[in-house]
Structure 1
Amino acid sequence: MLTIGCHLSSSKGFLAMGKTAHSIGATTFAFFTRNPRGGAAKAIDPEDAAELRAFLQVEGFGKLVAHAPYTLNPCSDKEHARRFAREAMADDLVRMEFLPGNYYNFHPGSHVKQGADAGIEMIACLLNEVLAPEQSTTVLLETMAGKGTEVGGRFEELAAIIERVELSDHVGVCLDTCHVHDAGYDIVHDLDGVLEEFDGVIGIERLRAIHINDSKNPCGAHKDRHETIGNGFIGLEAFGRIVRHPQLRNLPFILETPNELSGYAAEIELLRGLAG
């Protein structure tokens, strides 16, 4: 069965997220590790985390895909922003050990006209500072749409970051369907070709999770505007190929579409139907 879920609010605690996910037919979910538009992190209740771990095991959930805050930019041109990225990610990775063995996804960041090469070096430097040999969490670099000065709009940029990370066995990639489509990768007409390119540049074994979203824009627009499944430029036929693809179908899929819980439940049912 397709492992699929959506972003949920962590305001009511870990176990509440698990029960909410289960109520809409999800078998995974994503959550922000702290305020997505700021820096505050809610204190973790170890008992609540333990109850969620037990719940996930009983209900047969797949790996969770936590998300770093949007404000985290390790290749900013401002020292205080880079310091926040370093401190927040280091803290988040400690906190993730309350839910061991899952994924921590982050946007690589924007180099702010410093140049992609400088951005790549700073992102890799951050990872070398915060990754620990004993951690159980795999950190995922997200594929980006390539708008503005974003790093990660090309597979080569993600590969260059990973090549510079000393503990690269703790690093993978989350492929966002809207982002790669907007970046110019034709997943609608040439999904196999895109995955072959990913494998040749990064290595398909690095692909650990999918953000599954339609796009409001045509391929190559570099806009990053998500749409509900089947109502954008990617379309239902392409999503059927994505969820059935042998290199993708066993990965956790996370919906980030503009939706409420009832809409997510409908999309989960729709995509499971397409998966067969």
Structure 2
Amino acid sequence: MKGSPKIGAHVSIRGGYGRAARFAWESGAACFQYFPKNPRSLKLKPLDGRDAEDCAAFCRKHGMVSIAHTPYPTNMAAGTAGAASRQVMVGSLRNDLEIAEACGSLGIVVHFGTFGGMEPLQGYQNIIQCMNETLESWNGRARLLIENQAGNHGSEGMTLEELVKVRELSRHPDKIGFCFDTCHAFASGIWNPEQTGELLGRGTELGYWPHLVAVHLNDSMFPYGQRRDRHAGIGQGCIGEEKLRELLLSEPFRRAAVAMETAKGTDGSHRREIAAVQNWYEAEEQP
């Protein structure tokens, strides 16, 4: 058998981290993603050690993996002044790392960052400095997982080259990995589903794939290259099930934790989609 990744979806932490893990398991998932705190705020959240350990223990028992997703306002390109300064970002990211570590998660997914009109060189420098300060004294196993961007808020962070380079230039590359979003890659134009081999080859040349930890498996509501970040259900968008399946069955993606960020089914879970994606691998093994 070639093996398959852990498949799951984003779940709510209403009721706690342990409840989130159980809900994911009950829906047939072997992986889940969650927001460690309020997704629309950078306010720090005190760690509930008992709840986090409940989550970690349940995942160990059932062979599950999890990833945390940083709040939406997180911007690693932030400068040193203002209410949303680098200091605020670093504090929030450390808070997320601590919660993810306690929950036994692989890492925290963070968007590359938006420059908002600043000089690109300054933006890249800010991102690198933010990562350096966040990871300076971090000794946990949870890693910072940089996610590729769709281009709807600017051209930065769309290419594998950028992600690889900021990791290389950081002082702690061993504490940094990647999260590949299929909808973002399609929207930004770096993944043409008719030429998947080119993406795979480019990632190999750059040394991107060895550091791929997580995948956001999303179809796209909008056509290729339009830089529109709107997710569609698997096989219900412009990418299509066949091309998503081709990508996920490729070797670099088999080691990743795969989480869907699509609309829930009528039962409030992703049970149907999880089963459908798991079947891609089971069908592959049929004689």
CA–CA distance in 1 between the matches of 2:33 and 2:260? 9
User: Which residue of structure 2 aligns with residue 43 of structure 1?
Assistant: 46
Confirm or deny: 8 A CA contact 2:128 2:166 kept in the other structure. Answer: yes
- The worse-fitting range, judged by mean Cα deviation, of 16-25 and 88-97 is 88-97
User: Which residue of structure 1 aligns with residue 217 of structure 2?
Assistant: 212
Amino acid paired to 1:163: E
User: Which residue of structure 2 aligns with residue 59 of structure 1?
Assistant: 62
Pairwise CA distance, 1:150:
5.2
CA–CA distance in 2 between the matches of 1:186 and 1:102? 25
CA–CA distance in 1 between the matches of 2:138 and 2:50? 26
User: Which residue of structure 1 aligns with residue 285 of structure 2?
Assistant: none
Confirm or deny: 8 A CA contact 2:179 2:216 kept in the other structure. Answer: yes
CA–CA distance in 2 between the matches of 1:265 and 1:156? 35
TM-score (norm 1): 0.93
Confirm or deny: 8 A CA contact 1:243 1:275 kept in the other structure. Answer: no
User: Which residue of structure 1 aligns with residue 115 of structure 2?
Assistant: 111
Pairwise CA distance, 1:66:
0.4
User: Which residue of structure 1 aligns with residue 270 of structure 2?
Assistant: 264
Confirm or deny: 8 A CA contact 2:97 2:107 kept in the other structure. Answer: no
1:70/1:101 CA distance change after superposition, 3 Å: closer
Pairwise CA distance, 1:265:
0.8
CA–CA distance in 2 between the matches of 1:101 and 1:39? 20
User: Which residue of structure 1 aligns with residue 249 of structure 2?
Assistant: 244
Residue 163, structure 1, aligned to residue 168, structure 2: yes
Match of 1:192 among 193, 197, 209: 197
Pairwise CA distance, 1:136:
1.2
Amino acid paired to 2:281: A
User: Which residue of structure 1 aligns with residue 259 of structure 2?
Assistant: 254
Match of 1:221 among 226, 233, 256: 226
Residue 273, structure 1, aligned to residue 279, structure 2: yes
User: Which residue of structure 1 aligns with residue 31 of structure 2?
Assistant: 28
Confirm or deny: 8 A CA contact 1:243 1:271 kept in the other structure. Answer: no
Pairwise CA distance, 1:39:
2.3
CA–CA distance in 1 between the matches of 2:178 and 2:164? 10
Pairwise CA distance, 1:162:
0.8
4+ residue stretches of structure 1 with deviation over 3 A?
Answer: 40-43, 76-79, 260-263
CA–CA distance in 2 between the matches of 1:87 and 1:65? 19
CA–CA distance in 2 between the matches of 1:25 and 1:95? 24
Query: What's the Cα RMSD here?
Result: 1.8
User: Which residue of structure 2 aligns with residue 134 of structure 1?
Assistant: 139
Confirm or deny: 8 A CA contact 1:38 1:71 kept in the other structure. Answer: yes
Q: Percent identity?
A: 28
Residue 122, structure 1, aligned to residue 126, structure 2: yes
Confirm or deny: 8 A CA contact 1:242 1:249 kept in the other structure. Answer: no
CA–CA distance in 1 between the matches of 2:106 and 2:255? 15
User: Which residue of structure 1 aligns with residue 89 of structure 2?
Assistant: 85
Amino acid paired to 1:55: F
CA–CA distance in 1 between the matches of 2:70 and 2:101? 15
Residue 7, structure 1, aligned to residue 1, structure 2: no
CA–CA distance in 2 between the matches of 1:202 and 1:114? 29
- Helix, strand or coil: the match of 2:151? coil
Confirm or deny: 8 A CA contact 2:33 2:259 kept in the other structure. Answer: yes
Match of 2:236 among 217, 231, 240: 231
TM-superposition CA deviations, 1:73-109 (whole Å, max 9, x none) = 1213653212321211122222333124521110121
TM-score (norm 2): 0.90
Pairwise CA distance, 1:172:
0.8
Confirm or deny: 8 A CA contact 1:72 1:84 kept in the other structure. Answer: no
- The worse-fitting range, judged by mean Cα deviation, of 138-147 and 98-107 is 98-107
1:79/1:200 CA distance change after superposition, 3 Å: farther
Confirm or deny: 8 A CA contact 2:97 2:143 kept in the other structure. Answer: no
TM-superposition CA deviations, 1:137-190 (whole Å, max 9, x none) = 111000111223253111122122112211100101100000000010234112
1:187/1:3 CA distance change after superposition, 3 Å: farther
Confirm or deny: 8 A CA contact 1:178 1:213 kept in the other structure. Answer: yes
User: Which residue of structure 2 aligns with residue 75 of structure 1?
Assistant: 77
Confirm or deny: 8 A CA contact 1:155 1:202 kept in the other structure. Answer: no
